[in-house]
Amino acid sequence: MNSLEWAKLLRLLYADLLSVKKMQKPDKIYLDNPNLLYALASRPVKIGTARETFVVNQLGYMNDVVYGKKTGDFKVNGRYTLEVGGEGKSYDQIADLPDSYILADGIETPYRHKLPIWIVGFLY
């Protein structure tokens, strides 16, 4: 799997980069590019998977992205907690966390800690 990540076909995410567990298996596996999802899928692609793949692809280029486990979908650069979802995504999972944001599909403008998902495309 590490060879597929090196070839930029997969993106392997770990929850804890400091533990020995990293040598065993990743916590989450994503295709490196969301276009690969649609090119290789034999069934309709789940929109949540496409959203998360897009975010990991765009943020992972210049940032350290780890799997958030129970505290959001992703942790970026050890500081920002991100939850990815649709327009109706609630703040429940990240309500009490500092520097936490929702990247929401289906919205055009930011509101409080809810940002449109397309904005991460400018970071690539």
Say whether pLDDT at 115 is over 70: yes
pTM across the whole model: 0.90
pLDDT of residue 22: 55
Strand order in 65-67's β-sheet? 65-67, 74-76, 80-85, 100-104, 114-116
Q: pLDDT tens, 70-104? A: 889 999 999 999 999 999 999 988 988 999 999 99
Contact criterion met (CB below 8 Å) for 74 and 55: yes
Say whether pLDDT at 55 is over 60: yes
pLDDT of residue 16: 66
pLDDT of residue 84: 97
* CB burial string 65-84: b at 16+ within 10 A, e below: bbbbeeebbbbbeeebbbbb
Q: pLDDT tens, 2-50? A: 899 999 999 999 986 666 655 678 999 999 999 999 999 999 999 999 9
pLDDT of residue 110: 96
Q: Which amino acid is at 119?
A: I
pLDDT of residue 19: 64
